[in-house]
Amino acid sequence: MRAARVVTPAPTLILVAHGSTDPRSPEVARALVGRIRRLRPSLDVRVAFLEKSGPDVREVLADVARHGARAVAVPMLLASAYHARVDLPGAIAESGADVRQAAALGEDPTLIALLGQRLAEAGYFPVQRHVGVIVTAVGSSDDAANGRTATVATALARGARWAGVGVAFGTGPRPTLAEAAEDLRTRGATHLVAAPWFLAPGVITDRIARAAETLDVAVAQPLGSHNLVAAALLDRYDEAVTARVAA
């Protein structure tokens, strides 16, 4: 008689977001959990936050450790900066839980395509030669992370006929939104739009929107809760699970 095959359940997916005092930001993370559950109904998915929102990631990791479960922590972060390289790995190590950390989303082509879609929804299309696009990101103390934002602008500009595509940061490094706007206007752009390289609206995107209004720059929506974002997060989860099996 053939022995019954034991099927090991897939590791829990812990979606780890930054957290914010602005309720719109955690709402996007929770909405993405719902999308992931609909895309993969058999997968156990939980949400956790690094700060300012609950449940705190340390609480979720402690619960995973108590139950002896396996999990993959997927950072809902666009850049592999301090939170992804220091905060989250530190919390995982302290918890003692059997948790593997997935890679940050980074400059995922799917998300760059979604950024173009957000521009189109705002009325800006890649055939408009008079338009200048400013990819706006949060800014980091990590120069490499800031440099990767420039690759988003390069990819977004590929095949487009815009007057130009620049980069600006909402905090920290330069160029500022004003500097990027001035540069694009000298390159012939008569209409400017900011493309927020953010997953969710919040304090910094509001700051960018206020600055944009004074500069006569339109602003598209952040990436937000979308199946393309959910699919990219699942890709990172699958990559981590595959690496775990291969190890």
* Residue 84, SS3 per DSSP: helix
Residue among 102, 243, 131 nearest 193 (CA) = 131
Residue 38 has pLDDT above 90, yes or no: yes
Residue 138: is its pLDDT beyond 70?
Answer: yes
Indicate the average pLDDT of the chain.
Answer: 94
Instruction: Decide if 12-106+226-246 and 109-219 have a common fold.
Output: yes
User: Does residue 2 have a pLDDT over 70?
Assistant: no
CB 155 within 8 A of CB 188: no
According to the model, what pLDDT value does residue 233 have? Answer: 98
In the prediction, which pLDDT does 144 show? 83
Q: pLDDT tens, 220-240?
A: 999 999 999 999 999 999 999
Average pLDDT over residues 56-76: 97
Confidence (pLDDT) at 95: 96
- Domain 12-106+226-246: which topology? Rossmann fold (3.40.50)
DSSP letter for 10, please. P
Residues 143-155 pLDDT 10s: 888 888 899 999 9
pLDDT > 90 in the chain, percent? 87
Q: Which residue has the higher pLDDT, 45 or 83?
A: 45
Task: State how far the Cα of 125 lies from the Cα of 87, in Å rounded to an integer.
Answer: 38
Domain edges within the chain? 12-106+226-246, 109-219
- Given a cut of 60, whether residue 1 has pLDDT beyond it is no
Q: Is the predicted pLDDT of residue 158 greater than 80, yes or no?
A: yes
What are the helix (H) ranges across 133-196? 143-157, 177-186
What does the alpha-carbon distance between residue 100 and residue 61 come to, in Å, rounded to a whole number? 11
Tell me the average pLDDT across 90-118: 97
Give the mean pLDDT of 20-47: 97
- Taking only the tens place, the pLDDT of each residue in 162-217 is 999 999 999 988 999 999 999 999 999 999 999 999 999 999 999 999 999 999 99
- Please state which CATH number belongs to domain 109-219: 3.40.50.1400
What pLDDT does residue 7 have? 55
